[in-house]
């Protein structure tokens, strides 16, 4: 009787251990097969588009009147530009909101605020994009006396809506995780609350906050629908936040539908997809690095 029980518990143990193992392996397999797929589909491009025409040219126009052009510089720049703009908007708001939620708000307000902010992350991006076309875009145009509604700034505002939940939620976790001993010690030494937050708590939670920012940045770079709808998708090179721009994701979304399979254009689209993948991979790894660093500090 006893033996039987042990064996069934033992079996269950093995079963679940393997189930978990398979689950975690699945995600690695999916990631690797994605990478292999991207590499395989973009590889023929190397022989068809010279390296310099891809990486050093600003002209992306696969269906051009004067020929086919596959320069990634403009759309890569625009992707980074709108993401950087997003971070400029969402880092201060995100960190201040996180400080308020974790340090200053009454407990009741916190229990309402945090789920609400996390709910923001669940809004479909197409809805946010629509919001940008009918509301934020016209508002920006009116406020800054611009004629056009679709702009980099419009896209950055929409991306901020999507990125903020990540930044706020993870930064709040990082700040909350800072030991109360530190807070009490600094208050006991005569610091006021603001001094405590800025000189003690924030530096202690630094790695978690930076990690949240990097994860948000990764999200901004990869987002498609909202920027596709809100940014106007002009292929130009611009530094003006009120000008329309086109990102890598929007380019793929627009062009993949019509592309002839296994043409140069098709391979080039996978090529820019690969560049995006590598970019997101690097950013996520940096975030991971900071998360690990944060764990070490706390131990």
Partner 1 sequence: MNKKVIVKGLVGLMVIGTCFAGTIQIKGSDTIVNLSQRLAEEYGKTNKSVEISVTGGGSGTGISALIDNKADIANSSRTIKDSEIQKGKKNGNDIKEFTIGIDALSIILNPKNKITSLTIEQIGKIFKGEIVNWKEVGGADMPINLYGRQSNSGTFAFFREHVLQGEYSDKMNSMNGNSQIVESVKKDISGIGYVGVGYVVDNGKPINSVKIINVAQKTGETAYSPVDAKNIYSGKYPIARGLQQYTNNKPTGQIKEFIEFELSSAGQSIVKDEGFYPIDGDYKKSNLQNLK
Binding site for partner 1 (CB under 8 A): 61-66, 133, 138, 141, 147-150, 228-229, 232-237, 243-244, 246, 254-255, 257-261
Q: CB-wise, 186 or 249, nearer to partner 1? A: 249
Q: C-beta of 74: minimal distance to partner 1 in Å?
A: 8
- Measured from the CB atom, the residue of 100 and 130 that comes closer to partner 1 is 130
Query: Residue 263 CB, nearest distance to partner 1 (Å)?
Result: 10
Task: Provide, rounded to whole angstroms, the least separation between the CB of residue 125 and partner 1.
Answer: 15
Question: CB–CB of 183/200 below 8 Å?
Answer: yes
Helix (H), strand (E), coil (C) string for 39-103: HHHHCCHHHHCCHHHHHCCCCEEEEECCEEEECCHHHHHHHHHHHHHHHHHHHHHHHHHHHHHHH
Complex with partner 1: residue 96 or 262, whichever CB lies closer: 262
Least distance between partner 1 and beta carbon 225 (Å): 11
DSSP collapsed to 3 states, 17-46: HHHHHHHHHHHHHHHHHHHHHHHHHHCCHH
The smaller minimum CB distance to partner 1, of residues 217 and 266, is found at: 266
Gyration radius of the chain over CA positions: 24
**122: Cα separation from own chain's centroid:** 14
Instruction: Kindly tell me which of 44 and 138 has the beta carbon lying closer to partner 1.
Output: 138
Q: How far is CA 6 from CA 1, 13, 15, 18, 184, in A?
A: 9, 10, 14, 18, 49
Shortest separation between residue 133's beta carbon and partner 1, angstroms: 8
């Amino acid at each position: 009787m006893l033996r039987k029980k042990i064996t069934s518990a033992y079996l269950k143990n093995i079963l679940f251990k393997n189930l978990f193992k398979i689950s975690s392996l699945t995600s690695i397999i999916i990631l690797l097969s994605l990478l292999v797929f991207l590499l395989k589909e973009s590889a023929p491009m190397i022989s068809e588009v010279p390296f310099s025409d891809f990486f050093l040219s600003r002209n992306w126009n696969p269906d051009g009147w004067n020929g086919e052009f596959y320069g990634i510089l403009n759309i890569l720049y625009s992707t980074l530009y709108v993401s950087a703009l997003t971070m400029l908007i969402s880092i201060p708001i995100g960190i201040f909101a996180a400080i308020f939620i974790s340090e200053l708000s009454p407990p009741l307000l916190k229990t309402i605020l945090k789920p609400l902010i996390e709910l923001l992350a669940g809004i479909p991006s197409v809805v946010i994009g629509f919001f940008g076309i009918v509301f934020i875009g016209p508002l920006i145009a009116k406020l800054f006396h611009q004629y056009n509604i679709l702009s980099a700034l419009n896209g950055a505002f929409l991306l901020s809506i999507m990125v903020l939940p990540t930044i706020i939620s993870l930064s709040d976790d990082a700040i909350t995780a800072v030991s109360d001993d530190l807070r009490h010690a600094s208050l006991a030494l005569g610091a006021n609350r603001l001094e405590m937050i800025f000189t003690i708590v924030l530096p202690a939670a630094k790695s978690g906050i930076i990690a949240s920012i990097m994860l948000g940045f990764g999200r901004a770079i990869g987002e498609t629908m909202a920027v596709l709808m809100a940014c106007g998708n002009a292929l130009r090179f611009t530094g003006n936040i009120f000008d329309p721009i086109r990102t890598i994701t929007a380019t793929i979304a627009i062009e993949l539908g019509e592309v002839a399979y296994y043409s140069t254009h098709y391979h080039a689209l996978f090529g820019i997809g690969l560049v995006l993948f590598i970019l997101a991979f690097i950013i996520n790894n940096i975030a991971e690095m900071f998360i690990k660093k944060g764990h070490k500090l706390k131990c």
